[in-house]
């Protein structure tokens, strides 16, 4: 498997990037101590949104239950169905993708699709295909406007022919050190409160933490080429460049107004391998980093030591190694593109 690996160290200040069901920052035990954690799904969504913003023509995928109305509009506006027939037909098509909910304005599960896929679905039905056949036909359609579906994959329980293994792999981001969540007590003033009345208009608490995270993401270049065979080499190179840039530069948006925590990585190791499978370097931090000063310098040293040991002990060969900040992002992307076919 030709693949690309991203090993990222990034310090984030006071934040609650990813909350659990109690509103607390997510955590995990690793090396028998509590670490700050950001789930893989959380950071994947942040990266996907950035890619869509940067290049909506290539990254047109949308996860939604609301496919009935777009299908109705396509059947009515592009294929001449009257309003009543278009709605009934859209419901039939949506039901074949995933059972209709009640009321039937949406389906029961999220469907990761794109504008061109919905157009193809409507066109197949308008051309005489039964709903099930029209849905199965999507599996043969190229992902011309949905590189994000190729990257992140999709699972369709009602029709496994539409299930697609994603070419991208993400781990949960973990702090390189022990972290305990802290509590922020806040008070809000009532601006119209009379002068002779004391006290806050509202009080409450929020949990937060701060951490130096080890983040890992990888990309199966062979699988991506297969999924995006309809694109040109230059377009596939653009997809990979956008992916790398989005993974490095995106930050989950939770509480971005009250705890703005957007930072950029302090250290990045990018590796391209011609064979084997991606291997993360999180075990560099199985023994948590502890210093009297900052955490980044020691975290970088641990990461590089672990990588050197992996190469020496396991004979892991790399076709390309790039490091930031020794290299600029633009230089690194130019080198990576040479390995995209």
For residue 195, the tally of other CB atoms under 10 A from its CB is 5
3-state secondary structure of 14: strand
308 CB contacts (<8 Å, ≥6 apart)?
Answer: none
Triad 207, 209, 210: Cα angle to 5° = 160
Radius of gyration of the chain (CA): 24
Closest CA to 114 of 68, 169, 67: 67
**pLDDT tens across the length of the chain (341 residues):** 999 999 999 999 999 999 998 889 999 999 999 999 999 999 999 999 999 999 999 999 999 999 999 999 999 999 999 999 999 999 999 999 999 998 899 999 999 999 999 999 999 999 999 999 999 999 888 889 999 999 999 998 888 889 999 999 999 999 999 999 999 898 899 998 888 888 888 998 889 999 999 999 999 999 999 999 999 999 999 999 999 999 999 999 888 888 899 999 999 999 999 999 999 999 999 999 999 889 999 999 999 999 999 999 999 999 999 999 999 999 999 999 999 99
For residue 322, the tally of other CB atoms under 10 A from its CB is 20
Residue 278's region, left for phi above 0, alpha for psi from -120 to 50, else beta, is beta
Closest CA to 163 of 149, 175, 174: 149
DSSP states of 183-218? EEEEEE--TT--TT--S-SEEEEEEEEEEEEEEEEE
Dmax (CA) of the chain: 76
What DSSP character marks residue 23?
A: S
Residues in the chain: 341
Check residue 271 and give its pLDDT: 98
Check residue 140 and give its pLDDT: 87
**Looking at the DSSP assignment, which residues form a beta bridge with residue 175?**
213
Check residue 32 and give its pLDDT: 97
Please report, for residues 48, 204, 283, the alpha-carbon distance to residue 135 in angstroms, rounded to integers and kept in the order given: 25, 50, 44
Q: Which two tokens stand for residue 200?
A: 């806050």
For the chain, what are the domain ranges? 3-56+173-337, 63-144
CA 2, chain centre distance (Å)? 21
Its sign, for the CA torsion 127, 129, 132, 133, is: negative
Whether the CB-CB separation of 264 and 9 falls below 8 Å is answered with no
Whether the CB-CB separation of 237 and 228 falls below 8 Å is answered with no
CA 272, chain centre distance (Å)? 20
Whether the CB-CB separation of 5 and 216 falls below 8 Å is answered with yes
* Residue 326: exposure state from Cβ atoms within 10 A (0-12, 13-18, ≥19): exposed
Whether the CB-CB separation of 303 and 37 falls below 8 Å is answered with no
Check residue 200 and give its pLDDT: 86
3-state secondary structure of 250: coil
Instruction: Give the whole-angstrom CA distance, residue 243 versus residue 240.
Output: 5
Check residue 39 and give its pLDDT: 97
Check residue 219 and give its pLDDT: 98
Whether the CB-CB separation of 153 and 219 falls below 8 Å is answered with no
**Looking at the DSSP assignment, which residues form a beta bridge with residue 100?**
107
Closest CA to 246 of 49, 40, 29, 41: 49
């Amino acid at each position: 498997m030709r693949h690309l690996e991203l090993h990222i160290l990034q310090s984030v200040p006071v934040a609650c990037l990813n909350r659990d069901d109690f509103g607390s920052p997510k955590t995990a035990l690793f090396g028998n101590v509590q670490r700050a954690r950001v789930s893989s799904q959380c950071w994947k969504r942040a990266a996907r949104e950035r890619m869509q913003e940067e290049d909506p023509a290539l990254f047109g995928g949308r996860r939604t239950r609301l496919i009935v109305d777009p299908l109705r509009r396509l059947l009515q506006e592009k294929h001449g169905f009257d309003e009543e027939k278009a709605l009934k037909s859209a419901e039939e098509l949506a039901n074949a993708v995933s059972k209709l909910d009640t009321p039937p304005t949406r389906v029961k599960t999220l469907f990761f699709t794109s504008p061109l896929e919905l157009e193809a679905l409507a066109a197949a039905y308008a051309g005489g295909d039964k709903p099930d056949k029209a849905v199965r036909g999507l599996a043969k359609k190229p992902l011309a406007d949905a590189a994000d579906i190729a990257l992140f994959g999709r699972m369709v329980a009602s029709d496994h022919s539409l299930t697609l293994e994603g070419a991208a792999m993400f781990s949960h981001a973990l702090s390189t050190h022990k972290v305990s969540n802290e509590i922020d007590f806040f008070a809000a003033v009532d601006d119209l409160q009379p002068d002779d009345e004391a006290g806050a208009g509202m009080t409450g608490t929020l949990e937060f933490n701060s951490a130096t995270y080890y983040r890992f993401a990888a990309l199966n270049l062979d699988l991506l080429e297969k999924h995006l065979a309809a694109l040109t080499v230059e377009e596939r190179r653009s997809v990979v460049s956008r992916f790398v840039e989005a993974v490095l530069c995106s930050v989950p948006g939770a509480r971005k107004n009250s705890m703005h925590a957007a930072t950029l990585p302090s250290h990045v190791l990018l590796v391209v391998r011609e064979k084997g499978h991606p291997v993360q370097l999180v075990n560099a931090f199985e023994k948590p980093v502890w210093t009297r000063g900052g955490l980044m310098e020691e975290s970088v040293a641990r990461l590089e030591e672990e990588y050197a040991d992996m190469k020496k002990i396991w004979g892991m060969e790399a076709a390309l190694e790039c490091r930031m900040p020794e290299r600029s992002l633009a230089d690194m992307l130019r080198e990576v593109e040479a390995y995209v076919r």
